[in-house]
Amino acid sequence: MSFERKKILVLGAGYAGLQAVSKLQKSLGHQDADITLINKNEYHYEATWLHETAAGTIDWEDGVYPISKVVDASKVKFIPAEVTAIHKDEKRVETNQGDFDYDILVTALGFESETFGIDGMAEHAHSIVSPQTALAARHEIEKNFANYRNSGADKDISILVGGAGFTGVEFLGELVESVPVLCEKYGIDYSKVKITCVEAAPSMLPMFPEDLTDYAVKYLEDRGAKFMIGTPIVAANEDGFVVKIDDKEQQLEASSVIWTAGVRGSSLMEESFDGVKRGRIIVKPDLTIEGHEDIYAIGDVSAVMNGEGDDARPYPTTAQIAMQAGEHVAKNIELTLKGDKKEPFKYDDKGTVCSLGSKDGIGIVMGREIKGKKAAFMKRVIDTRAVFKIGGPMLAYSKGKFL
Ligand code: NAD
């Protein structure tokens, strides 16, 4: 089989981009294509494990591995560089290490924190969007607990979590495990600690039935977390969050303030393409961008629609859909190089698990509700599978969660 040799440029080595490269290097030979992967860091990080780094239940290195462990250097050129502009009309990408041209572009630039313009949020709250920000959040919590011995201020052992989405709830699950350990380390009575999660919507985790959400809330409340549901955060300042209750503003005090209420796709998307909302661009069924047969968008910079017409909605951005899209793009590129038609992407939703620390969780897997130890086990399977799918058995052996 002979292909026309093309320049394929993949931007981003998150779940979507790295999965695409991992698949491309298996399906294409050196003579078939010139594949280049550009990523800001020399490592890939497991974005879905960041809440564990932030709470201190895993070390940051546990969720990180060098991209060189995945990339076959005989087939793929890996360039550690930061993308600064995409010039689609010239088929050229600008980086801080020079320019790269392409025949086929895969943009998989990932996510960043979204504060929705809330006053003071970017300055006063920590986010959990990279190993660095997760580590900063963890250090902040520990610094404040250590400080409590001198200050005796309740504020120093109060933690505010903004948003009870997946990230917020999974983070709380880790906190109720790690904070008692911190208390022991610094001689603090855990019953004095306040861990409060503030959520604007009248309910949380709408993708789960009420009995599972109730289970999660009870599990977390039994271990010391408190929820303020239907309470929008309207500002952040050096004392904590300002929330709105019955149309009146109220200050919630905490020294450790973590914003888990929003992510968006890379802002480079708005700068480079038309019709981008919160860093996400609607993709066609074959995962290319309207009007650009040679540009694919996958992962958190893309909006994959669940149908056609006015009722169509984008699927939530998850690691699961990002990896499936990465695989599909590799397949479509191979088809294109062979002169065949691209195929439409079909998302196979295998379910979702929301962990509650290392020992518990809730989820829907293959259409069945699960909770407790079974859900925690499933979560470890999902996390290990993600490493295996991208990096193979050796990487899964060293990075997987087997315990
Ligand atoms: P999210 O958007 O899903 O949740 C954010 C939460 O914050 C929402 O409940 C929202 O109502 C709340 N919120 C927003 N503004 C607020 C305000 N001003 N005050 C108080 N509350 C406010 O964000 P996320 O949890 O970071 O998840 C992002 C995406 O990643 C989602 O698609 C999610 O499904 C996915 N994800 C999946 C997993 C998993 O599968 N285990 C884990 C993490 C994230």
For the chain, domains (ranges, CATH) are: 6-113+264-350 (3.50.50.100), 121-261 (3.50.50.60)
**pLDDT tens sequence across 50-80:** 999 999 999 999 999 999 999 999 999 999 9
Contact 303, 278 (CB under 8 A): no
Q: What is the pLDDT of residue 142?
A: 98
Q: Whose CA is nearest to atom 42 of ligand 1?
A: 166
Q: What is the pLDDT of residue 60?
A: 93
Dihedral pair phi/psi, residue 136, rounded to 5°? -65, -40
Question: What is the 203 CA–ligand 1 centroid distance (Å)?
Answer: 12
CA dist 289 to 90, 141, 264, 301, Å? Answer: 16, 42, 18, 11
Question: What is the 162 CA–ligand 1 centroid distance (Å)?
Answer: 10
Name residue 227's beta-bridge partners: 197
State the pTM of this model. 0.95
Catalytic residue among 46, 170, 174, 199: 170
Ligand 1 atom at shortest distance from the alpha carbon of 318 = 35
Q: What is the pLDDT of residue 402?
A: 83
The strand pair at 240-245 and 233-237 is best described as: antiparallel
Question: What is the 356 CA–ligand 1 centroid distance (Å)?
Answer: 15
Among 112, 119, 167, residue to substitute to test ligand 1 (most atoms within 8 Å of Cβ): 167
Q: What is the pLDDT of residue 31?
A: 84
Low-confidence ranges of the chain (pLDDT < 70): 1-4, 403
Q: Whose CA is nearest to atom 40 of ligand 1?
A: 352
Among 318, 360, 362, residue to substitute to test ligand 1 (most atoms within 8 Å of Cβ): 318
Question: What is the 18 CA–ligand 1 centroid distance (Å)?
Answer: 24
Is 293 labeled as catalytic in the residue annotation?
A: no
Q: What is the pLDDT of residue 397?
A: 92
Q: Whose CA is nearest to atom 3 of ligand 1?
A: 165
Ligand 1 pocket (Cβ < 6 Å) reads: 48, 118, 162-168, 170, 198-201, 204, 232-233, 260-263, 316-318, 352-354
- What radius of gyration do the chain's Cα atoms show? 22
Question: What is the 24 CA–ligand 1 centroid distance (Å)?
Answer: 32
DSSP 8-state assignment for residue 61: G
In a 13 Å sphere around the CA of 60, the CA atoms on its Cβ side amount to 15
Q: What is the pLDDT of residue 4?
A: 56
C-alpha–C-alpha distance, residues 338 and 331, integer Å:
11
